[in-house]
Structure 1
């Protein structure tokens, strides 16, 4: 499981027959692998958070009180949770990868540490496939991530094993976790500083896709059967789609157009409507205009339901989206449409 050609520890630690020594070495490797896996989790979490915040914020502010409370709770809970998370990854990923590496090197030439890296990467891909099946995660995203999660623990195990052979003594239980703490803080700070510098220099950041008229035409679908059909001639067809409510400018809306409760009749739908939204069906027109420095599809209905609504272009070039925020600019309801 280390950098050498055998799995045994220092010579003085292996009784005759090797069995007790192998069990001790297995526990030592499991403990070290758990500590190494736990050390990288805060930095990985920060990378995930930065990537999420650098994505489309759908017109709202990413810095909210709820986010601050979540981060504060994570800081309190992390020291209690990380050792268990590291132990799970070590037991399911790193230690089995070392066992497979020793099996492989009995039949194939090469250093154990290199085969440990390969076997751990393959196990990561297997676990990624299982996660994709169970939780519907995107395999092309989680497979490289799970494979990469084994790099640091394997290299760290190799260092500990080589150091044990050189000094004749294994690393202590608590010494490993102390090194894990220092390494975790260092990795976290490196990612934090790198994220700040990358943001300030413009190396990392979000840019909405630029879509042509041909790319915008077609059907865009949302939740609960919402649909928006955009024709090349500038005509639009709405199905259970949110629009800016007419009631915002007409307080006495009980009997006014746009305040009805029957969907599909050219008026607002009661089940998804709020003070800022009318859910409408019917024909209309569309055009591309700029709003807040971003391109948006402006949809105007021919009937009396709702008002002109700006659907901002977001997402990515590969997976574009149209979104509109209704109500409070920071905490309002967001409707998202994707290509049907």
Structure 2
């Protein structure tokens, strides 16, 4: 049984489990503007192209990580003291440090990159060691079909475990969902502008407001409101912590309610235009207090 086949399949299985866990988290929550954190077309591409890509990545990982580590550990164990598993740990950590240094040069954090790369080499080495011991016990090598069957079965079990763990983390709040700020009404007063500077709202004390180029969604097009009017802050409980209801005086444009978002340090007001699940978002950012 070629060790490379087992290493490639085990690596592909662990990457598949990680990818499935990531998808489970994305499917279970929305982004900070209330939209699903995934696109249906992107999900379809992952399902179609994911399996062959995982095999390619598994083969690449075996070539650049598992095989060099295994050869170096075998040579070190034959010439030096200590068990093979200890030399494998040393070699996989050293290889991870080298690859992490190259990636960190591009701007990635070194320690976390080193930890992820080193961890990615552990399971393939364990899989190869398991097949070696199993072959010694049975007295004959495994066929490629048997290797595929055993690794894929273990991969499905690992994937199921990861999905359950991610669902539990979502249900218990261990995987942090976005939580909008809940400012006091007085903190809403001030100037709110779009990032491109085309839209501006001035919220004054007593409920007065001034509008300049503020977008609104019409029946067949997107329009913009100018003039004066009123605003009313409505705090809420739950994922949406508050909204601001706008009313423009004497204008045929309905701004409606804009939702409070952003962070406590950078509060935003936003509105979704188009499809609620995948629409465009219009954002106003708090700039200054009156």
TM-score normalised by length of structure 2: 0.66
Distance 1:138-1:290 versus aligned 2 partners, 3 A rule: farther
> How many pairs are equivalent?
266
2:154 & 2:113 partners in 1: Cα distance? Answer: 24
Instruction: Find out whether 1:43 has 2:43 as its counterpart.
Output: no
Is it true that 1:124 corresponds to 2:71 in the alignment? no
Q: Find 1:89's aligned residue among 52, 61, 75.
A: 61
* Residue equivalent to 2:204: none
**Does structure 2 conserve the Cα–Cα contact (< 8 Å) formed by 1:56 and 1:206?**
no
- Pairwise CA RMSD of aligned residues? 4.8
C-alpha distance in 2 between matches for 1:146 and 1:321: 37
- Map 1:1-340 → 2, pairs under 5 A: 28-54=2-28, 56-62=30-36, 66-67=39-40, 69-105=41-77, 109-134=81-106, 141-199=112-170, 201-202=171-172, 204-209=174-179, 235-236=190-191, 238=193, 240-241=196-197, 266-267=212-213, 275-276=221-222, 289-290=235-236, 293-295=239-241, 309-313=258-262, 322=268, 324-328=270-274, 329-334=276-281
The answer as to whether partners of 1:296 and 1:311 remain within 8 angstroms in 2 is yes
C-alpha distance in 1, partners of 2:113/2:267? 22
CA contact (8 A) 1:55 1:205 kept: no
* Alpha-carbon spacing, 1:173–1:38, altered in 2? closer, same or farther (3 Å): same
Unaligned runs of 5+ in 1: 1-24, 217-230, 246-256, 259-265
Gaps of 5+ in 2: 202-209
8 Å CA contact 2:261, 2:270 repeated in 1: yes
SS in 1 for 2:145: helix
Deviations 1:83-131 (A, max 9, x none): 2221111111111122332354467532222321342244335434434
